Amino acid sequence: MEYSTVCGLEVHTELATKTKIFCSCTTEFGGEPNTHVCEICSGMPGTLPVLNEKVLEFAVRTGLATNCEITMYNKFDRKNYFYPDLPKAYQISQLYLPICRNGYIEINDSINGGKKKVRIHEIHMEEDAGKLIHDEWSDCTLVNYNRCGVPLLEIVSEPDIASADEAVEYVEKLRSILQFCGVSDCKMQEGSLRADVNVSVMEKGSSEFGTRTEMKNINSFKAIHNAIECEAQRQIELIEDGGKVVQETRRWDDAKGSSYAMRSKEDAQDYKYFPDPDLPPVQLTDEYVNSIKNNLPELPEAKKARYIAEFGLSEYDISMIFSSVAYVKLFERTVEITNSPKDSANWIMGELMKMMNENQLLPENMNFRADSLGEIINLLNGNKISRDSAKKVFKAVFEEDVIPADYVKANNMEMVSDTGAIKAVIEEVISNNQKAVDEYKGGKEASFNFLIGQSMRALRGKAPAAEVTKILKEILG
């Protein structure tokens, strides 16, 4: 029998606010355990939450950027469960009236070709939980509440995703939108973007969904891809063997490349949701939403299309650069400095991405002045340094964030542009290589190339080869 895969994603993203959602503790990642906490986010009795307005703004911005309707009257609900990472024993979230609904993101249709919409069921605001640390001590588990109360958006898709490739593209597009909107840094390795992956399979052509399983908190594109493919395959084999898929939460073990059952899936009623009595409902005005709409930044798809049209760059080049907002920012600055979109794109896709790979660095951890790449390209295009030197300077920029012009000076890399100086060096080479000169004059072409080589070496590659050839020809007649 042939099967199709059905997948829906619940993506959690930590918002780039300075402070937490209901208190003024910092949201900064890391720090000594339990130092970013106060009475409110550690759930002390008698304290009251106050909504951080920035969270509201970021939620509306994200909703507008993903084609959602904004719920003008929305409110917070308590999701009750007991677990040591949640000191209040409930999470403040939104169930009944989430702030955004009925949006979509467009992706490539991996089954039928063309484009398709992955619908967004809703986006809601909620608080993150703390973190349990199991591995450091053998006889106990520790808890770190620094992350407790960090604002999250949960973005819930409809089950419109039909393959692992589509899921990855959806999350990539979503991440790009979130980054361009400035609402999250989306550092997946720090958990600021993570996905719960729901997977089911059904007979090809059927309109009735199969039973789904859920794998929580997957935080890399590779893991999302593998988890979906392996889980779909597991379900198919189970069904083919006469078994039945049970609705459950499974843990994806990325190192092993397999998942195992964790617990049976809880339903909404298990959480005994009810409206949070500590927070007033949120009533938005048209004026507020419109002001956010009018200040929405240019979104990635629109910007991509504009760069392809304005700069004459290929769709492939542009997608490579748009794989991270960090590359896009560097690209834009480099174009400003050099006026050459082609050179800027080529250096980013060539030298920069090569170094990123070699050093296994993520784009957001690039660590050099944004102006440096443009300055190097200008030095090269202005014949101030050779291509070889340009690569060396870039390596130093990449590794030590040196200032290109200073580095060029300190390392004596400037091209010799003074014809007289080049001539003097060549004349010395000629007087030291009389034998080759005689051979050349006797008709041996190879000796000319030898003399060019010697001259270039004496000039330490710092004169344009064409110029050296011209001068040597002139002298030898």
Answer yes or no whether residue 98 interacts with ligand ADP by CB under 6 A.
Answer: no
- Write down the least CB distance from residue 148 to Zn ion, Å: 8
Which residue number is nearest to ligand ADP in terms of Cβ? 8
**Alpha carbons 303 and 319: distance in angstroms, whole number:** 11
Q: How many CB atoms lie within 10 A of CB 155?
A: 28
Interface residues toward Zn ion, by CB under 5 A: 23, 25, 38, 40-41
Answer yes or no whether residue 227 interacts with ligand ADP by CB under 6 A.
Answer: no
Number of residues engaging ligand ADP in binding (CB under 6 A) = 15
Answer yes or no whether residue 209 interacts with ligand ADP by CB under 6 A.
Answer: yes
Cβ atoms of 153 and 59 within 8 Å: the answer is yes
Q: What angle do CA 365, 57, 366 make, to 5 degrees?
A: 5
- Among Zn ion, ligand ADP, none, partner that 447 touches (CB below 5 to 8 angstroms by kind): none
Answer yes or no whether residue 156 interacts with ligand ADP by CB under 6 A.
Answer: yes
Answer yes or no whether residue 6 interacts with ligand ADP by CB under 6 A.
Answer: yes
- Among ligand ADP, Zn ion, none, partner that 227 touches (CB below 5 to 8 angstroms by kind): none
Which of 324, 297, 292 shows the shortest CA–CA distance to 59?
292
Cβ atoms of 399 and 222 within 8 Å: the answer is no
Give me the residue label for tokens 């999302």.
224
11 versus 64: smaller Cβ distance to ligand ADP:
11
- Among ligand ADP, Zn ion, none, partner that 38 touches (CB below 5 to 8 angstroms by kind): Zn ion
Q: Which x/- pattern, by CB under 6 A, does the window 102-141 give for ligand ADP? A: ----------------------------------------
Which of 386, 351, 384 shows the shortest CA–CA distance to 460?
386
Which of 145, 173, 130 shows the shortest CA–CA distance to 11?
173
Q: Which x/- pattern, by CB under 6 A, does the window 234-273 give for ligand ADP? A: ----------------------------------x-----
Query: Is 143 exposed, middle or buried, given 0-12, 13-18 or 19+ CB atoms closer than 10 A?
Result: middle
Return the residue of 85, 106, 109, 158 that touches ligand ADP, per CB under 6 A: 158
Return the residue of 27, 93, 146, 198 that touches ligand ADP, per CB under 6 A: 198
12 versus 384: smaller Cβ distance to ligand ADP:
12
Cβ atoms of 7 and 198 within 8 Å: the answer is yes
Which of 164, 265, 181 shows the shortest CA–CA distance to 13?
181
Tokens of 82: 């007991």
Cβ atoms of 168 and 155 within 8 Å: the answer is no
What is the identity of the amino acid at 434?
Answer: Q
Phi, psi for 181 (deg, rounded to 5): -80, -5
- Among Zn ion, ligand ADP, none, partner that 199 touches (CB below 5 to 8 angstroms by kind): ligand ADP
- Write down the least CB distance from residue 34 to Zn ion, Å: 11
94 versus 157: smaller Cβ distance to ligand ADP:
157
Which of 2, 233, 235, 4 shows the shortest CA–CA distance to 110?
4
Return the residue of 4, 10, 262, 433 that touches ligand ADP, per CB under 6 A: 10
Answer yes or no whether residue 27 interacts with ligand ADP by CB under 6 A.
Answer: no
Q: How many CB atoms lie within 10 A of CB 439?
A: 17
Answer yes or no whether residue 165 interacts with ligand ADP by CB under 6 A.
Answer: no
Return the residue of 36, 75, 147, 212 that touches ligand ADP, per CB under 6 A: 212
Using CB under 6 A, list all residues that contact ligand ADP. 6-10, 156-159, 198-200, 209, 212, 268
